[in-house]
Structure 1
Amino acid sequence: METGCQIHSAASISMRAPTAELLTEIILTVFRTNGRLLSSGDSLIAPFGLTSARWQVLGAVAMSDTPLSAPQIAAVMGTTRQGTQKQLNLLVEEGLLEQQSNPSHKRSPLYTLTKRGRSIYTDVDHTQARWANQLAEELSMDDLVATKRVLELVCERLERTSTRSNR
């Protein structure tokens, strides 16, 4: 049975190698999956007063061993600094994050969870764990490990390409 998540290319006019053609299909599937993840994430965490964008930023701060600046959070999450800053401002307003001075950069504060932010993140994390357990049913560990490895390799190549083009 086909789902809306499966992508099949029509005859391509381009001169892509077979691996590039399949990678293009994977990229399109990742785009569709990302849209569904954001929508599902919004529904999942709405009871906590969060959106997927705020959850993503809150999670980056929660999972870090040290306070992070907006550019550091953006780099970790693969988002823009401006978009990250907007979410940080909202999370500070909502009392979930607090700013600390940054000895390395006076105009770029560091962010940490407040007590309330830690509590909400813990509740969200438990909710996400139940959801992820359901999504993972019937998926093999081998397939998941291979998927993670390939996506990380593509991400690393994109980062290297981006770094070279920004020079």
Structure 2
Amino acid sequence: MENSAQQLFSTAAITSFRLNGQFLALAEKLAEPAGLTAAWWQVLGAVLHEPLPVAGIARTMGVTRQSVQRIADLLVTRGLAEYRPNPAHRRAKLVAVTAEGQAAIDRLGPRHSEFAARLAKQVGAERLTEIVQALAELSAAVDGIEGAGESD
């Protein structure tokens, strides 16, 4: 029989996988009218406040550098992002959002805001804050364990 820590871990993982699927489906629904996909929105969102190299975006998103590179190239081709020189690394260019990319993000803002308000009302703003903090703590704990190379 599984111990309670193992059961909790399994339930947390399964719930996280389901929530991830729900978030991705919702992101597709919110992003589509703005001419974006969920993946494009994620990459643009990662560089809204400051340009980042592809590897930095991948670390932030928890995905592979190759998948971010493919999306960044598409965003650049479509004029939603641009590559800029990186003073810290000659070959690893920075990805930055363009005015057109910012406009696309702005277009999805009202629907995003409306859903966020509905979610906060459903769960309660204070409880939603606690949930977000707990998810961030759980993510940091997994990073800490993975970073330490522990398997038990």
TM score, norm. by length of structure 2: 0.89
More helix by share: 2
Structure 2: stretches of 5+ with no match in the other structure: none
Tell me by how many angstroms 1:105 deviates: 1.2
**How far apart, in 2, do the equivalents of 1:23 and 1:148 lie?**
18
- Alignment check: 8 A CA contact 2:86 2:93 kept: yes
Which residue, 29, 44, 58 being the options, matches 2:15? 29
Return the alpha-carbon distance in structure 2 between the equivalents of residues 41 and 119 of structure 1. 17
Among candidates 33, 58, 80, match of residue 47 of structure 1 = 33
Instruction: Decide which of 116, 120, 123 is 2:104's aligned counterpart.
Output: 120
Max Rg structure: 1
Query: Once the 2 structures are TM-superposed, how far is the Cα of residue 73 of structure 1 from its aligned partner?
Result: 1.0
Q: Distance in 1 between matches of 2:125 and 2:99?
A: 35
For residues 126 and 8 of structure 2, the distance between their equivalents in structure 1, rounded to whole angstroms, comes to 20
Map 1:1-16 → 2, pairs under 5 A: 13-14=1-2, 16=3
Give 1:98 deviation, angstroms: 0.5
Q: Deviations over 1:60-83 (max 9, x none)?
A: 111x2x311111111122222111
Amino acid at match of 1:122: D
More RCO (CA 8 Å, sep 6+): 2
Deviates more, 1:90-99 or 1:124-133: 124-133
Deviations 1:2-22 (A, max 9, x none): xxxxxxxxxxx32x22x4423
CA distance in 1, matches of 2:63, 2:43: 10
Name the count of aligned residue pairs: 150
SS of 2:87's partner is coil
Identity of aligned residues (%): 32
Structure 1 residue ranges (4+ consecutive) displaced by more than 3 angstroms after TM superposition:
none
Q: Which residue of 1 aligns with 2:85?
A: 101
Measure how far apart 1:125 and its partner are: 2.3
Q: State the 1:95 CA deviation.
A: 0.4
- Root mean square deviation of aligned Cα: 1.8
Aligned residue number for residue 111 of structure 1:
95
Could you tell which deviates more after superposition, 129-138 or 111-120? 129-138
SS in 2 for 1:112: strand
Could you report, residue by residue, the CA deviation over 1:78-117 in whole angstroms, capped at 9, with x for unpaired residues?
A: 2221111111111111100011011211221001111111
In the alignment, structure 1 segments of 5+ residues that lack a partner are 1-12
SS of the counterpart of 1:138? helix
